[in-house]
Structures are given as C-alpha cells and as structure tokens.
Amino acid sequence: MELGKISTVGLIAVLIVVMIVITCVSVFIGAVDVPFDTVVRVLAHKLFGYGDISDIPTYMVSIVWRLYTPRALLGLIVGVGLAMVGVVMQAMVQNPLADPYILGISSGASLGATFAILMGATVLSGTVFQGFGVEAFAFLGAILSSAFVFILSAIGGKMTTTKLILSGVIISSLCGSVSNIIVYLEPNAEGMRSLTFWLMGSLSTIDFESVKVCLIAVVVGLLFFATQMRNLNAMMLGDSTATTLGVNLSRLRMVYIVMTSVVIAFIVCKCGIIGFVGLIIPHISRGLVGTNHWKLFPVAILIGAIFIMLADIAARSLSSSEIPIGIITSLCGAPVFAYIMLKKSYGFGGGGE
C-alpha cells in the first residue's frame, strides 16, 4: 500500500527534517550531561570558528567534539549505508528476506575479529601482520568471504539469485564453524567479552577517522547506486523480464556484489555487526512509497539513518552501562518484520505479495 495523502517529495522533506533533529538530539545525549548552551557553543566554534570557548572546561569540549559529535555522524552514515545495501540486495536477489549480510559478510567479519581477538597475539607474533588490529582482520574477513561467495556462485555457468543465496549460506556456515572452533580452542574470558560486544555492534569506540572512512565508502556507494535505479527496477521484475529489457544481469550482479561488499565491510569493521536494519527498512519504505526505486531509494536511506540514531540514543539511555546497538535493532526489528510479514500490505517486485 503506497502512501496516499502525502507526496513522495513531501515525505522526503519531512524525513530530512526529522533526521536533522534526531542528529542534533544525539549530540546532546550521553553518559555525561552537558548543558545545551555548551554544546551549541562548542559546535559553533569547531564548525564555523564562531565564539570563544576558553571558559568551557576542556573535558566538556572533548566530550562534545570528540565523542558525541562523531558518534551522531557515524550513526547517520551507518544507517544510510545499511539501508542502501539492503535495498540493493533485495532487488539483486529478488528476495524480500535478503539483507546486507546475505553474502556471508558478517560471518567473515566475525571470523576475522574472532581470530584477531582470541588467537592474534599468539599466532601472529613476529610476523608482518602483528600490528594489524581487530578492525583490519574483520575487514579482511568480510572481503574474503564475499569473494568466496562470488567465486562459488559463478561456478558452472552464469550467476543466479538462487546460487548467490545458497553460496552465502554455505560461506556463512563455514565461517561460523571456524569461529566456534577458535572459541573452543582458545577460551579467554577477557577476549570473549570484547568479542561479544563487537559482535553485537556498537558506535561507542569511534572518532572522526572512523567517520571519514565510513563516509567515503557510503558516499561512493550512494553515487554509484543513484545511477542504477532503472536496472534495480528491472531486476525486481524477474530475470526473464530484465533480460528482455536489455539488462545484463550477470555483469550487474558482479558489480553490485563488489560495491555492496566493500560498503558493508567498512561499516562492519568500524561498528561491528548491526542486524535487521537492511532487512526491515526497505520493507517499511516500500509500504510508504511502493517498489519504484526512484522513490524507494531516498526514502529508505533517510529512514535507515533515523532508525540507527534512535537505536543508538536508546542504547545510551536505557541502562547505566551502554547496551550494544545490535540488541536494540534486533528487539525493534524482529516484531516489526513479523508484523510486515503477517500483514502483507505491500508488493515486492512485479508480482510479489
């Protein structure tokens, strides 16, 4: 069911305003209470060089500028990236259950992080990889798992949606099994706590460098996929129809896999695994504006940004000790997805219910 009383342009305008408001609210909320006027003065000085902040305690300036601000920006960027990849994945494999991690990216990243945290210091001692951190191994694991899915799905002929999904399941299971073996062989209480928090996702250990890295990856992805609306619409109609329309599905899927894998790999290596966003946000967006990607794409990325920032605010506010954001997104995502599935109030592609 498409949105009736408000136009798509009007909806996008409303979502932009809401996103800006939530971003501002996110800058004010954290473990340390900072006065409203202090936050405004620090941001005005840092962003525009306006005003004097010499009378503000140094620790407050650091909290606002080095902790709260990059965290709010990273939440926005991650939400955009996950929603964007979710939309592309669901169109690419023509499956409403597809999400950004369907190609085994999360499992590969988990394996890389598990290896680095529990075995890295022992196995890599004295090698050129000794200085690589958890993020580097998570990124490497994500990229390698995507590459294996790509190779596996291309064996024996052209790449199809079924082969992509099955290859993703195979690689995810394999990476999960190896991760479990490492956990079993190298029991480490401190390492397990670190690994558990990383696997549940978090925006807490960030800085502007993390923001910049994720921003570059997401912006490149946005610029590329913004030119692919016609092809994405054709993919949703099915392989036969898309081929009739002149769309080279095999080539496009290869390109899309590379682009989405890189975007997700950067997000996962900086923030851990944040589930359900790329699964439910495209569904919610289709319920509002339909399946046309010219409308769906901008609405989905805006809702994704808002959802992640709200989830991060909740993660910081619901407990004295911060809750991993992945727990919040799963708690919200599971019932929402169940409702969407039972209601069946939108279409998927050319003939889905």
Give the model confidence (pLDDT) of 4-42 as tens digits: 446 889 999 999 999 999 998 888 887 777 888 888 888
Question: Regarding predicted confidence, which is higher, 273 or 343?
Answer: 273
The tokens for 288 are 């509002």
| pLDDT, tens digit (0-9, with 9 covering 90-100), for 100-125 | 777 788 888 888 888 888 876 555 55
Q: Which helix (H) or strand (E) holds 91?
A: helix 69-92
For 19, 42, 46, the CA distances from 65, given in Å and listed in that order, are: 20, 7, 8
> What is the b/e burial string over 45-80, where b = at least 16 CB atoms within 10 angstroms of the residue's CB?
beeeeeeebeebeeebbebbbebbbbbbbbbbbbbb
Classified as helix, coil or strand, 4 is coil
CA distance 302 to 325: 18
Domain architecture of the chain: domains with CATH? 8-323+331-343 (1.10.3470.10)
- Asked whether 186 and 123 are in contact (CB, 8 A), the reply is no
CA distance 269 to 106: 10
Query: Is residue 131 predicted with pLDDT exceeding 80?
Result: no
Task: Give mean pLDDT, residues 80-103.
Answer: 86
* pLDDT at position 120: 63
| pLDDT, tens digit (0-9, with 9 covering 90-100), for 223-251 | 999 999 999 998 888 777 777 877 888 78
State the CB neighbour count (10 A cutoff) for residue 13. 13
Residues 6+ apart with CB under 8 A from 186: 118, 119, 122
* pLDDT at position 5: 47
Query: Is residue 285 predicted with pLDDT exceeding 80?
Result: yes
- Asked whether 267 and 217 are in contact (CB, 8 A), the reply is yes
* pLDDT at position 128: 47
Question: Regarding predicted confidence, which is higher, 195 or 14?
Answer: 14
CA distance 222 to 129: 32
